[in-house]
Structure 1
Amino acid sequence: MKTTNQLFSVIALVLFLFSTATVLAQDDAPKRPEFITVTTNHWNMDKEDFKMSEWKAAEKEYLEKVTMKNQYIMGASVYLHNMTPDNTEFLTVQTFASWEDIGKFGKRNTELEKEAWPDETKRKAFLKNLKSYYANKHSDEIYTPISGVKFMTEKPTKDMVLYIKKSHFAFPEDGTMEEFNKLSMEGNAAIVQKNEFIKAYYPNVHAWGSDKTEFIEAFFIDSLSDLDKMFDRNDQLMKAAFPDTAANKTKGEAWRKYFTGVHGDYLYTFIHDLSK
């Protein structure tokens, strides 16, 4: 197990470095974050005066006065439950250019809060009201982006659907970084990049958190009706790029050995006007 764990660590690290080098070589490519933090929050179901419109207005005010001005936060977004096992959950996602920035953004938030609400009484009242919408429990994960991103071509002007596929690495004894990367990028170029229903795609691996086997793929699509269309188009592109031949069967077997075969599917609603 120690050997295979080390192998995966090398694979994840090298894939990340390859991803970074590729982006830096493209002058017109969006700047990539090094780390992505994902916080799973839960609504306070005991709040009697809960109004979604008022929660959103408070979050938007905080976004404009604090998050948007915090130079250590590259990006931020909010995702509400759509089809997941827990209807009380929602995600807040933030991206960072470095590990050091993760350690700095909290202090900067506090400074910006004081600037936005210089009156201490009003500041405490605002933050208390915002906090009242959330349950006390939450969980945090940190991921690292890898190669294969399909960037959003323009900032969304409407809410979108986020489809998350969470797979798990199997740590094969005969696996190599070179093979994994080659198979991953070949399939990505032939399917993800050519699927017009996939408006953006972000693959990420575990960096810090509860499960080091996680491989997270985030697909942005316009609507729920496009979800089936996306899967159908994937099948069409798969058959076109990898016809039923002995060589392609061998590729498929090689790719599948990197995963346990178990995955989970999650649907969230991306709130376009609560994003940086």
Structure 2
Amino acid sequence: MTTQRNALVTGANKGIGFETARRLAAMGFKVWLGARDAGRGETAVEALRDEGLDVEWLALDVASDESVAAAAKAVAARASGLDVLVNNAGIAPGYVDALGPDGRYGRPPSREDIADVKATYDVNVFGPVRVAQAFLPLLLASPAARMVMVSSYLGSLARAAGNTQSPNVMGYGSSKTALNAITLAFARELAPRGILVNAAAPGYTATDLNAQRGGRTVQQAAEVIVRLATLEAGGPTGGYFDENGPLPW
């Protein structure tokens, strides 16, 4: 008799999160599709159920302590453990408005709105911490849980320092740098418990975050996330990867 594997993907009603949920469900996971909005969440779930996949909407606003706590309680009432947690939810307020006609980002750090930076950190940095802490008992109940933080190439300090052509997006980029540090911190704590924690850079993907201007598909982007979410025992932990291998911090 096999025990059903459970996965949670945050921010999964569209884009990379939706494709990640689809891929994990197709591999046999029951996927909890985390989304703030009931209408969009249920619509996404129905689309995946139409493909014969076991997916359920989970009301989850990663910027709300109360919402995250309620979501963890809801999953705990239905599942004995959580095998995969993908912290995918992310925002970049003001990013699309700052894109020029050539698609390049045109707002320097000196003109970024502090309120936007705070909102970005609340979702992109504090959100994954909230979710990881709230769902940790369920992850520890799994024999070999995996946690994936969806980062970005813009989170790499080494790449930013060596490439003046890369977008200088202070709020979003630094939030992903912070997320990389959080990835390493959780990996160090949880390695003795058998939980592998890694950060994934899906690349510049066509999503609503960038007004669909990215050059990669969500199918390509989900590849590294799913790979890290399904690592075999003995796989890497505390790393930062794209589909081709390790990235410089």
> For the pair shown, which has the larger CA radius of gyration, 1 or 2?
1
Tell me the TM-score range normalised by the shorter chain: under 0.3
Query: Which is richer in strand?
Result: 1
Structure-1-length-normalised TM-score: 0.24
